[in-house]
C-alpha cells in the first residue's frame, strides 16, 4: 500500500463504521489498512483533542454534510483542513486560506 509506494506520511483514521449504511466503509478494509506501517485506525473517540494536537492536517472526504463537527474542531485546533467542495464542508473552509476544497469523488486531485 502506501508504505510500499514510498509514501512518507502517517495517516490516523478516527471514527467507527456504520453497519446500517450501504455506503459505509467496511470494517475489514479498515483492519487491512491498519496493517500498513503508515495507517493507524483508532475507531470512535469521545474526545479528539489529543488526536488533533498530533495532527498536521485534518481531512474529511464527504459528499454532503450538515455543518461538520470534524472540520470545526480541526479548525479550532489550528490545523489545515482538506475536504470536498460539498454542502456543509464548503461553509467551513475558505479555499486556499484555511484549507483546501477538492471535488467530490476525484481521488486524483
Give yes or no: residues 66 and 106 share one domain: yes
- Overall number of domains in the chain: 2
Q: Is the pLDDT of residue 41 over 70?
A: yes
Q: 79 near 85, Cβ under 8 Å?
A: no
Single residue among 25, 46, 67 that ends a domain in this structure: 46
2 and 25 co-located in one domain = yes
pLDDT of 74 reads 95
Total residues belonging to the chain: 109
**Taking 70 as the threshold, does the pLDDT of residue 69 lie above it?**
yes
Task: For cell 509514501, name the residue.
Answer: 7
Per-residue pLDDT, averaged over 25-53, amounts to 89
Instruction: In whole angstroms, give the CA distance from residue 92 to residue 72.
Output: 7
Q: With bands split at pLDDT 50, 70 and 90, how would you rate the model's confidence at 54? A: very high
Has residue 105 been placed in a domain? yes
Asked whether residue 85 is domain-assigned, the answer is yes
Please check whether residue 81 is in contact with residue 104, taking contact to mean a CB–CB distance below 8 angstroms.
Answer: no
Residue 101, pLDDT above cutoff 90: yes
Residue 71 to residue 59: CA distance in whole angstroms: 8
Domain housing 107 = 57-109
Most confident of 1-5, 24-28, 44-48: 44-48
pLDDT recorded at residue 38? 86
Cα–Cα nearest to 101, from 88, 86, 83, 74: 83
Question: Considering the entire predicted model, what is its pTM?
Answer: 0.83
Mean of pLDDT values over 42-53: 93
Break the chain down into helix, strand, coil percent, rounded to 5. 20, 20, 60
Is 75 among the domain residues?
yes
Amino acid at each position: 500500500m502506501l508504505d510500499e509506494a514510498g509514501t512518507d506520511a502517517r495517516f490516523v483514521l478516527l471514527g467507527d463504521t456504520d453497519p446500517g449504511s450501504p455506503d459505509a466503509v467496511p470494517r475489514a478494509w479498515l483492519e487491512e489498512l491498519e496493517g500498513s506501517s503508515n495507517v493507524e485506525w483508532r475507531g470512535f473517540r469521545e474526545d479528539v483533542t489529543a488526536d488533533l494536537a498530533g495532527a498536521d492536517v485534518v481531512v474529511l472526504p464527504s459528499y454532503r454534510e450538515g455543518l461538520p463537527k470534524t472540520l470545526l474542531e480541526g479548525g479550532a485546533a489550528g490545523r489545515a483542513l482538506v475536504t470536498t467542495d460539498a454542502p456543509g464542508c464548503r461553509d467551513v473552509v475558505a479555499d486556499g486560506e484555511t484549507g483546501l476544497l477538492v471535488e467530490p469523488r476525484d481521488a486524483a486531485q
